[in-house]
Amino acid sequence: MSDRLAVLPQYLMPKLLLTRMAGRLASAELGGFTTWTIRRFIDRYGVNMSEAAESDPAAYPSFNEFFTRALKPGARPLAQAPLICPVDGAISQFGPVQAEQIVQAKGHSYTVTALVGGDQPLAARFRDGHFATIYLSPRDYHRIHMPCDGRLVRMIHVPGDLFSVNPTTARGVPGLFARNERVVCLFEGPHGPWIMVLVGATIVGSMATVWHGVVNPPRPGRIRTWHYDDERFSYAQGDEMGRFLLGSTVVMLFPKEQAVTFNPEWAPGGAVRLGESMGPPVAALLPPRGAAQRPGGASSAGVAG
């Protein structure tokens, strides 16, 4: 069966209704039923609970608490590199932005302008830059961390569809990552601007950031923008910056001026882990700074559940 035929049912299913229902169930505290569900999920997807800060499934009052579980201190050491991988997952695509085109999968691309919600001046800053897209499977750790230091400048919630974001759907749905609901986070880093995009998907109940809490819901059906020019939300490499409440995909964008050279061991489909080197920008080959906050630890800004 072709990828296009495989994803055809997703065009027909009530994705928003399913997502709302899944979000309510995932946040509900249902005692023994919640524990049973978590145990079934662990067995089904082979989740490694030995690296979780709390390894007992019965200790999680809701499925969301389990899904966004913290890691044990030291479970993800940070590479001494200017850019580190921000999540556990699998590489979807990475490489140069061709003018404004980002590769989604073989035969599919989308524009930076579409990805960031139609903001052409913002998109122009990343023309001919570099990108990396990483898919988080159900078994993965679902907190998102900073690939480098950054000061938050803007956050944009872009409404959209809620297709699945697995590899089959990426090959079968044109413009998937610029079509699905997403949260675009713009930072100013030590070597210029960079963007982290949290892409929603079917049954992703919500996405959250440490400075805002849950971004969606609400889903008002229009683009919402928050500016942080007068606020000092600065985060160090390795700090937690957000979470998926039921997983998805992240897309990172870097401008041409950073001349990013990716890790030569990276390849589409390859597994990656939080904290490993992404490959340094040529302009950023500086002495390493001190250790960043441990992954999974509490953030001073907090996250609304």
* 88 given a catalytic annotation: yes
Nearest alpha carbon to residue 196 among 211, 73, 137: 211
Can you tell me whether residue 192 is helix, strand or coil?
A: strand
* 142 given a catalytic annotation: no
Contacts 24+ apart (CB under 8 A), 42-45: 45/137, 45/138, 45/139
Of the residues 145, 157, 191, 212, only one is catalytic, namely 145
Of the residues 3, 62, 88, 140, only one is catalytic, namely 88
Can you tell me whether residue 144 is helix, strand or coil?
A: strand
- Residue 7 Cα to chain centre, angstroms: 22
CA distances from 25 to 34, 42, 61, 131, 206 (A): 9, 17, 12, 35, 12
Cβ(87)–Cβ(71) below 8 Å: no
Residues taking part in catalysis: 88, 145, 248
